Amino acid sequence: MSTHAKTWWGQQFISALEDFTDSGRLQRGRSYSTDNRIKQWLLQKGKVEAKMRGNINPYFGVYKEPTYKVSVQMTHLSEAQWQKIIQKLSQRASFIARLLLNEIPENIETVFAEVGVHLLPNDYRDFKVACDCPDYEVPCKHIAGVCYRLAGQLDQDPFLLFEMRGLAPEKLLQELALSPLGKVLSDAKSSAAVELVPVSSFYTRPVRTEFPQEISLKGFWQGAQPLPKSLEPSQAAIIPAILIKKGGDFPLFWKKQNSFIEVMEDFYIRMRKITLKGL
């Protein structure tokens, strides 16, 4: 499995590519996913168009460094199919919540299966690729390089997968906004800036209370209300960490293979134990 994809959906995207070509060709393709090889990259309307730096190869009659045009796209689902899928997604709060955290639910394919389609590619028939290099094999190393780069982008923005299937992310958000959680999702994905409101103080101001006119000695020591005879057991503090989870398991700055969320959860637990020991 390629290390170019960290999330499970990115890995399955690459798996479909690895199923219909040999490992040696893929090994060369991985090296073509770098900025040194990709001269131009354009992803719009679910189609990637790239310009790749090739090699000099006298065997194919190439005597100066060439530039090849590569295009990669996936078969699009119909408008009617997307309407049925969006309707089913809007009925599941768990799906909307995971999408809010910039993740694709692992059981999302059950919704697509009910419509008779699938979101993630299963084999080469889900791809439409082209390259003007002299290599007759499909995929060539240039196409493979574009697919590996695309898998890395899918890790960071899973909504690109919907776009590759023919549904614009903006339209998906508009449709999901019809539900309460979908409205939260739409606001979270919006790039609108939040206006800062100045405040006079960040601390809670004390509220003055008037002393009673008369107070007895018993009331002073025991209070106006009797204390409860028993206290309910305290519950462990729950740390939602919504800001951390919104970035997903692999945010842009995270270059390691393990999940950033899991690392932070372990960090919170250890810090909580250290804090409790110091009390």
Q: What is the pLDDT of residues 108-121, one digit of tens each?
A: 888 899 889 988 88
Residue in this structure with the two tokens 């394919």, named with its chain if needed: 109
> In terms of Cα–Cα distance, which of 82, 74, 86, 88 is closest to 9?
74
Position 186 pLDDT exceeds 80: no
Q: Is residue 43 part of a domain?
A: yes
- Tens digits of residue pLDDT in 46-99: 889 999 888 877 776 777 888 889 998 888 989 899 989 988 888 787 787 777
Give pLDDT, residue 49: 92
Q: Is residue 92 part of a domain?
A: no
Contact 173, 165 (CB under 8 A): no
Position 236 pLDDT exceeds 70: no
**Final residue of a domain: which of 156, 181, 206?**
156
Position 168 pLDDT exceeds 50: yes
Contact 38, 145 (CB under 8 A): yes
Position 40 pLDDT exceeds 80: yes
Q: What is the largest CA-CA distance in the chain?
A: 106
What Rg do the C-alpha atoms of the chain give, in angstroms? Answer: 28
CA distances from 273 to 56, 202, 234, 277, 279 (A): 60, 28, 16, 6, 10
Confidence of residue 230 (pLDDT cuts 50, 70, 90): confident
Tokens of 224: 């106006």
Q: What total of structural domains would you count in the chain?
A: 2
**Final residue of a domain: which of 131, 156, 181?**
156
Q: Is residue 151 part of a domain?
A: yes
Do 145 and 252 lie in one domain? The reply is: no
Range of the domain at 147: 1-77+118-156
Q: State the pTM of this model.
A: 0.59
**Final residue of a domain: which of 104, 137, 156?**
156
